[in-house]
Amino acid sequence: MDLKQLNTFVKVAELGSLSKASERLHIAQPALSRQIRMLEEELGTPLFMRHRRGMVINEAGKQLFGSANSVLKQVDDIRSDLTRHSDEIKGNVVVGVPPTVGDVLSSRIVNRFMSKYPMVRLRIVPAFTDHLLEWLQRGEIDIAIIYTNEKQKDLKTFPLIMEDLFLVGHRDAGLTSQKTVAFKDLVNMKLILPGPNHSLRQLIEREAAIAQIGLDVPVEADSLQTLKDLCRSGLGYTILPLAPIHEQVIAGELSIAPIVKPTLSRKLIVAQPLSRPSSNAVEKFAGELQMEVEEMVKSGVWGGRLLTR
């Protein structure tokens, strides 16, 4: 078993296809198939269920997948440590982002960062905050943007932004950024919100409990795109930050209104694990991330107030 085989196995498992992995790794498909076969022979067990549409890891494959990712991450960390004092910024940076942040920020920060540090390989991983915290602790990601008001153990953090939330509706819903909507008035609206495990839904439900009102939520959707599409179709209202809907609001596809009494907001922080030192590439990424968010707030793309480090 060698690193090349593990890397091949991880890529095939992630993409579910030898042909896709071949394109991604720029290695001929027969060579990849041979590496997988040799790995299975060495371990004495199949790792994939093979079918006409591709390959799916079985139980043994799932067990190896976690271990292989951990080994490959440790190798990347060793490379980063050895180049820590080098003037040339290179290596790998794995970034975790919540879906509502990733959709609007990912392309901007990738363009900004890669234009300055082209030798770095970036990987953006979208997930909810609970998953991101777990992956940070296990060392599967290097840095993450998370929603939290609590102090995190074993993590180095710095505040990023206090993000305002808005009522979002169809373009003809009568909402305007110049006229506020009281939170208690949401009781008369059909709301389309994420499911109960989503931090945004939990925040809204806490405020509803404090206000002693019941919310009408006939449809739940965890996907940001689905929330926007359903509102655009006039099927109800949702509650979102400005950043991921800014383009649709400017284009006149959606309308928004600030929510007051109380104002709804969420705290975003940047977190890194304390258990291992950050590479130069990760530190540079953290700096560029903060500058990009500052520009987005100042230009009105992201509604909220910046939090100082």
Query: Does the structure show a pLDDT above 60 at 172?
Result: yes
Q: Which residues pair with 160 in a beta bridge?
A: none
What Rg value do the Cα atoms of the chain yield, rounded?
22
SS3 at position 272 = strand
* Mean pLDDT of all residues belonging to the chain: 87
Share of the chain above pLDDT 70, in %: 96
SS3 at position 259 = strand
The tokens for 215 are 């919310």
- Domains of the chain (ranges plus CATH)? 3-71 (1.10.10.10), 79-160+268-306 (3.40.190.10), 162-266 (3.40.190.290)
d(CA 64, CA 238): 41
Task: Name the amino acid, one letter, at 65.
Answer: F
- Cβ neighbours around 237 below 10 Å, total: 22
Query: Does the structure show a pLDDT above 70 at 262?
Result: yes
Task: Name the amino acid, one letter, at 132.
Answer: L
Query: Does the structure show a pLDDT above 90 at 257?
Result: yes
pLDDT of residue 107: 86
- The distance from CA 103 to its chain's CA centroid, rounded to whole angstroms, is 8
Express each pLDDT in 93-130 by its tens digit. 999 998 878 877 888 999 999 999 998 999 998 888 88
Express each pLDDT in 235-251 by its tens digit. 999 999 988 898 899 99
Express each pLDDT in 45-62 by its tens digit. 999 998 877 889 999 999
Confidence of residue 213 (pLDDT cuts 50, 70, 90): very high
Q: Which residues pair with 55 in a beta bridge?
A: 50
pLDDT of residue 82: 61
